[in-house]
Structure 1
Amino acid sequence: MYSAIVFLPLLGFLIVGLFGRALGNKASEYITSGFLVIAALLSWVAFFSVGIGSGPAVQYNILSWIQSGNLDINWAIRVDTLTVVMLVVVNSVSALVHVYSIGYMHHDPDRPRFFAYLSLFTFAMLALVTSDNLLQMFFGWEGVGLASYLLIGFWFKKPSANAAAIKAFVVNRVGDFGFILGIAGVFVIFGSTDFNSIFSTAGAIAQGQTPVLEFLGYSLDPDTALTVVCLLLFMGAMGKSAQFMLHTWLPDAMEGPTPVSALIHAATMVTAGVFMVARLSPIFELSPTALTFVTLIGGTTAIFAATVGCVQNDIKRVIAYSTCSQLGYMFVALGVGAYSVGIFHLFTHAFFKALLFLGAGSVIHAVSDEQDMRKMGGLRKHIPYTYWTMVIGTLALTGFGIPFIYIYGIPLGTAGFISKDAIIEAAYVGQNAFAGYAFWMTVFAAFLTSFYSWRLVFMTFFGKPKASADVMSHVHESPWVMVVPLLILAMGAVFAGPVFKTFFAGDAYDAFWKGALFTSDANHILHEMHNVPKWVIASPFVMMVLGFIVAWVFYISKPDMPKALAARHDVLYRFLLNKWYFDELYNFLFVRPAFKIGRFLWKSGDGSVIDGFGPDGVAARVQQVTARVVKLQSGYIYHYAFAMLIGVAFFITWSMFAGGGAL
């Protein structure tokens, strides 16, 4: 069953990728989508068997992969609760995205290539989450990077799409450089990349005194070595999960088709970093410094992305910055040691974020591919299914729920309310140096999240239509092949939190996780979350309500107020609109110098030195010599006779001085 879950998407990619033109558009769509639906159903079977049921955690060896010296690596599928949670997330969202794309990409002439890339993307993520060792994880890690490059730049005739694909690829290389150094460090310290071997010896190595790693000329003791390795691994997570400073690729990734955005932001790519830190929680737990840094970056990302999302006008970019912010929440949970809470938010977030992106795609589909919210408005009566599903997604994202009211011990609210509030409570009881900072950042980010989310809804669906009469005359609801995935995701956005909270972070925690995440008798964070003050529990609700009220005043009650406020605070507005000027800063610090160095090496190094003294120089000298030799060929017999006489005289003279021996 597990081999089918992992390799069915790969089979779909190979069939459609190789024979898509011969099979045709419809067959390509049905083959890849059918395989993903089967994989998704099997993933839910695995989830109820291994997670909620009593199925054991096992490893399935597929083949012997790498053997070199002490390095002996098998390609294996690791099945535990963390794996099956990710299988459900990846395959469920991917299957719905595949089905949705049948309608969304209906007019695209390259549909077989698109569906093949989607299936490749899914397989790469499955290879990552089922990995039994770090090198196998790295294979999937780079696989999702490659697939994202292909999908972001799918419309490769658009220069902006090509630029966005390259940007995503290059920025991720920065993070991946740290990740691969971290993998090498793990191998040096533990002598293995296999998870079981690493986890079984981690505690003993941490208690040792002998230096275990040479890094940048320094001999590192176990504590320092583990901190360095964890920070390098987290550097990879920062790139993949678009955390602060390595986030710049994520908004530009909107250049790809909207279903790609849903898959990247909800189930693949950006969730890889969160999964990796959770999988390696036994190592990260040994480095309080690394976890403190994770908390700092998570809290900063949550507030940074939320501030930028408040002023974006592209409907997809607003949701993209929302993803960036929510990933910050997840890393806050991981940083304070609440690993299951972070994965719980990843699980619920997949449903409502995929819903929002696919809902945005339905809006774009309805308004003739327009993405600027300033050119929308008044759409709720024209596309009612899209409107209501996006409202549900917005309620989940903003954390709509009623605190202090419980049904069978579960808070009354949407999935986002339950999982996001749990992160805020975990940050409050966290013990590291930046836990308090992360708490306040996530609380204030909840206000901004509510504001920009309802701003999107009000600008898109309320007020007078701002599109042209021609566009409005063609506005229509999406076909059922697009609406049905929205309805299914809407159910997940509402019920995924209440139904599964007790398993992820409640009374059934131990029976559900079965040791798949780090646990310790000293780690009482889940217990302490039940004893937080009431004002802590109420704070996200208050922020959510305030954000809704401000958005209502700005975009419904007094729609001229945002323009006046932006004009009054022009510097701040431009600072946020230009995304804190990170692109400009990186362009000044890295891009321009890189181009200058490249141009110098091209012109002076390659052109003047290598080519000048190499092939071009040799060719030029040969041409010069032959040009002069050619002048000797005059065509007159007496010139040739004279040259012969000179030659004879030369040889006679040389023979005389040589003593006649040469003759």
Structure 2
Amino acid sequence: MNLLYLTFVFPLVGFLLLSTIRSRLTENLAAVIGVGSMGLAALTALYVGIDFLSIEGQGAYRQVLWTWMQVGDFAPAFGLHLDGLSLTMLGVVTGVGFLIHLFASWYMRGEKGYERFFSYMNLFVASMLLLVLGDNLLLLYLGWEGVGLCSYLLIGFYYHDRANGAAAIKAFTVTRVGDVLMAIGLFIIYHQLGTLDIQEILVRAPEVWKTGDMAVTLATLMLLGGAVGKSAQLPLQTWLADAMAGPTPVSALIHAATMVTAGVYLIARTHVLFMMAPEVLQLVGAIGAVTLVLAGFSAMVQTDIKRILAYSTMSQIGYMFLALGAGAWSAAVFHLMTHAFFKALLFLSSGAVIIACHHEQNIFKMGGLWKKIPFVYACFLVGGGALAALPFLTVGFYSKDEILWDEFGTQHFELFWAGLVGAFFTSIYTFRLIFIVFHGKENTHAHALKGVSYWLPLGVLLVLSTAVGAMIHPPLDGVLPALNITPNEEAKHYVEMLSGTVALVGIGIAAFLFLGERKLATAVAQSPLGRLLSRLWMSGWGFDWVYDKLFVKPYLFLVRINRNDIIDQGIGLIPRFARWSHDGVSVTESGRLRWYAASMVLGAVMVLAALIYLSSNFKG
């Protein structure tokens, strides 16, 4: 386990090499460095994980590399913490991240900036690993800001297009709002508890605060603000769909292995604080419930293959927040892991479809692709089945069913029904995508795909997205508290049957609407109400419009008013007065002896008059 630090050092070294000598690298050598560094990180994580799990009763392992800084009594360490939760995240980030890097070496071949792309990707993974392994909130925050920076660089990778740059700036700006809130939360925690060490916080918090105290409520609200920003939950979800401007492997990395899972990890890692703020914990569940339903509606009408998957990510992260809000910590992390498997599979498969269709992303310009790329079709069926929680066959069923059972067992019935509604719409929009893209009339001539770096990552993720993936269960015993639910096999069987039925009914409706000529779906979409709802859902419920009116337009108005910088002009009066004074005094330097003599006499008279006046007042 003493090799733990190498898990983030390898991709960091890869970033340094690629960023400093990339102009002298061939594509093959850049791929070797970029993918190889991730492979070494994954192998190291596997070795560390096996070593950690082989020690019976091992609670946690801490590796302190050095003291980061020291300001008085504040001396945070640059230290790593390994337990069941961070080990799960370590496996997801390095394992799925390696497969995405391998696929990217095929997908990005021939692109300008190939070396730059892999340098950003390596730095992205290194930052995420610091986030999940950091043993204090300051180091976690360093990784937090690192993934934000890398998301900006990668979303705007095709910077020659202004729209891509705008999407990158939007992602950076919106997530900054959450980051500022999170920083305020760290200030509150340190002020109240005197430490940012995560394990010390979890011990001191119950000693210093009582459940429901204002301080812990404010601290958790601020942490929640950071979480909703990174995990694209209401009200800071607007950046995620536009983030599809980046290359497809970037989308896979953001949605499956990094970034959007950071908020879920943060809440799970600081679960003791949230349990002491029950109102905030309820808010977590409510945010997840609303987000998963609203995102499901938006996904129903999207035409871009990647934007459909983006809204599905928003919805699935909502499921995780739903579980966190009910205290189902293990279920949330389990779904985080399974979601990484099938969402990476779906995004990489969509990348394969885009390549096969000559970079076309509109699903209505595709069709009939199952004959041309049958392997990708199989990947979509398995990944889509997992996303829709197809009963017993896919990994998504087991993790989603665990969440629904925990909601039902803890009597959070409003969250339970929201989860079922979300599952229903997930089935419809997922198989709408599959039926339109792979069935029906061929609208774009697709070509076959080849290459081991194309099919190997997809093959591994395909297997992990089946029921096989459910056999990998996060080792969270003793790390996160278990729910106290009375065993009831009959009720659990009822929940399983209900969730499975909902998924199958959704798939059936999708088949009825989108297989064949799709006359009913077209008629509904072209009706006045259909056009209105399509426009609303296509725009993500108009949140961008609302934010534009509330924040952007007032800001631009103030900028126009202050275009001449009133404050700067006010401060500028000081040097102007000095210049005017100088100009006035310099007039007296005329070079005329009579003027100088008269000035001297006048000055002497004024001095004498002042002295006489002062002496007379002094005597009086």
Cα 1:354–1:655 change in 2 (3 A) is closer
Deviation, 1:177, is 1.3
Structure 2 equivalent of residue 22 of structure 1: 24
Q: For the residues of structure 2 that align with 1:370 and 1:224, how far apart are their CA atoms?
A: 52
1:270 maps to what in 2? 260
8 Å CA contact 1:51, 1:513 repeated in 2? no
Q: Describe the SS at the equivalent of 1:108.
A: coil
Is 2:484 aligned against 1:524? yes
1:438 has 2:444 as partner: no
Q: Is the 8 A contact 1:303 1:325 kept in 2?
A: yes
Report the AA paired with residue 379 of structure 2.
T
Q: CA deviation at 1:513?
A: 2.5
TM-score, normalised via structure 1 length: 0.86
- Cα deviation for residue 69 of structure 1 reads 2.1
CA RMSD of aligned residues (A): 2.6
Give per-residue Cα distances to partners, 1:351-407, cap 9 Å, x unaligned.
100000010011111111111111111111111111111111011111011xxxxxx
What secondary structure sits across from 2:541 in the alignment? helix
1:476 maps onto 2:448 in alignment: yes
Aligned pair count reads 601
Q: Which residue of 2 aligns with 1:418?
A: 398
SS at match of 1:59: strand
Contact 1:336 1:430 in 2 (8 A): yes
- Tell me, in whole angstroms, the C-alpha distance in 1 between the residues paired with 2:461 and 2:600: 101
Mapped partners of 1:358, 1:291: distance in 2: 34
Segment drifting more, 385-394 vs 571-580:
571-580
| Alpha carbons 1:241, 1:272 under 8 Å: kept | yes
1:601, CA displacement in angstroms? 2.9
Q: How does 1:150-549 map to 2 (within 5 A)?
A: 150-207=153-210, 223-401=213-391, 412-431=392-411, 435-467=412-444, 472=445, 475-500=447-472, 503-504=473-474, 512-519=475-482, 523-525=483-485, 528=487, 530=489, 532=491, 534-549=493-508
Change (3 A) 1:652 1:47: closer
Q: Which moved more, 1:130-139 or 1:419-428?
A: 419-428
State how far apart, in whole Å, the 2-side matches of 1:164 and 1:130 are. Answer: 29
Q: 1:146 aligns with which of 149, 158, 180?
A: 149
1:576 aligns with 2:548: no
In the alignment, residue 62 of structure 1 is paired with which amino acid?
Answer: L
> Which of 96, 109, 113 is the matching residue for 2:116?
113
Structure 1 residue 236, shift from structure 2 partner = 0.5
Q: Does the residue aligned with 1:2 lie in a helix, a strand or coil?
A: coil
Per the alignment, do residues 158 and 619 of structure 1 end up closer, same or farther by CA in structure 2, a change over 3 Å counting?
farther
Change (3 A) 1:205 1:116: same
Q: 2:301 is paired with a residue of what secondary structure?
A: coil
Give the TM-score taking structure 2 as reference length. Answer: 0.91
1:418–1:497 Cα contact (<8 Å) kept:
no
Listed as ranges, the gaps of 5+ residues in structure 1 are 208-220, 402-411, 505-511, 630-642
Q: Can you list the C-alpha shifts for 1:530-564, whole angstroms capped at 9, x where unaligned?
A: 56354322222121111111111111134122221
Query: Match of 1:602?
Result: 563
1:562: which partner in 2? 521
In structure 2, the partner of 1:2 is: 4
SS in 2 for 1:66: coil
* Larger CA deviation: 551-560 vs 160-169: 551-560
Return the offset for 1:619.
12
Cα distance in 1 between the residues matched to 2:496 and 2:601: 113
How many angstroms apart in 2 are the aligned matches of 1:591 and 1:133?
A: 36
In 2, Cα distance between equivalents of 1:460 and 1:183: 46
The Cα of 1:283 is off from its aligned counterpart by 1.7
Q: Distance in 2 between matches of 1:231 and 1:529?
A: 35
- In structure 2, the CA distance between the partners of 1:302 and 1:565, relative to structure 1 (3 Å rule), is same
CA distance in 2, matches of 1:326, 1:489: 18
Quick check: 2:334–2:399 contact (8 Å CA) kept in 1?
Answer: yes
C-alpha distance in 2, partners of 1:581/1:332? 23
Q: 1:534 to 1:651 in 2, by over 3 A?
A: closer
Change (3 A) 1:653 1:315: closer
CA change 1:551–1:650 in 2 (3 A) is: same
Q: Which runs of 5+ in 2 are unaligned?
A: 609-620
CA contact (8 A) 2:289 2:415 kept: yes
- The structure-2 alpha-carbon separation of the partners of 1:96 and 1:269, relative to structure 1 and needing over 3 Å to count, comes to same
Q: Does the CA-based 8 Å contact 1:366-1:478 persist in structure 2?
A: no
In 1, the alpha carbon distance for the partners of 2:580 and 2:542 equals 52
Q: Deviations over 1:490-541 (max 9, x none)?
A: 11111454312xx44xxxxxxx32422235xxx414x557563543222221
User: Which stretch shows the higher mean deviation, 373-382 or 474-483?
Assistant: 474-483
- 1:656 to 1:416, Cα distance in 2 relative to 1, 3 A: closer
Letter in 2 for 1:450: S
Spell out the pairing of 1:620-631 with structure 2 (5 A cutoff): none
| 1:298-328 Cα distance to aligned partner (Å, 9 max, x none) | 1111111111000000000000000000000
- Displacement of 1:429 in angstroms is 2.1
Q: Is 1:419–1:497's contact at 8 Å kept on the other side of the alignment?
A: no
Offset of residue 260 of structure 1: 0.2
